[in-house]
Amino acid sequence: MFEEIERLEFEADVIIAGFAFGFPYIFVVSGRTGAIIAEEHFAAVGTGADIAEPNMFQRKHSAECKLGETVYHVYESKRLGQIAVGVGESTYIDILRPTKAGFTRETAQQITQEGLEYLRQKYDTFGPKPIQAKDVRIAKGHFSNF
């Protein structure tokens, strides 16, 4: 299977995720080189990846996170990534779950518009907030010469 993937020509990086024998796998296929990189816990591609991935690390995302945490981490990271050129506002979050036989269509779910609205409200509470110069006043005593 990996040899067939390596022969494909992509102009964009692609995330391939799923389950084999009950274990989760995440791979990123490079659109430039065709290299296949196994990732742990999460992956991001595209122009917003350099913003989204550090946020996942900041949130200490791992396989031990519960579903609610995970979905929020992904949503927040995607929203932050929207400051990058080429990342649109449309958001789709799909959830894959293992079955005893591996991955089947019945194990895939998508966050609804109601779910996205809930996540937006949580983002308004937990996401980064704008600051103004008056909010941060550094006094002379906060610096020393070296």
Residue 21: pLDDT band with limits 50, 70, 90 = confident
Residue 97 DSSP symbol: -
Per-residue pLDDT, 98 = 80
Structure tokens at 145: 């010469």
Q: Where are the domains of the chain?
A: 2-128
Element (H, E) at 50: helix 49-58
pLDDT at residue 2, as a whole number: 67
pLDDT at 108: 85
Rounded mean pLDDT of 60-80? 96
Q: What are phi and psi of 20, to 5 degrees?
A: -135, 125
Mean per-residue pLDDT for 116-143?
94
pLDDT score, position 5 = 66
Confidence of residue 14 (pLDDT cuts 50, 70, 90): very high
pTM, 2 dp: 0.82
Instruction: Tell which residue, 74, 75, 85, has the closest CA to residue 43.
Output: 74
49-58 and 67-81 helices, crossing angle to 10°: 140
At 23-65, the pLDDT tens digits run: 889 999 998 888 999 999 999 999 999 999 999 999 999 989 9
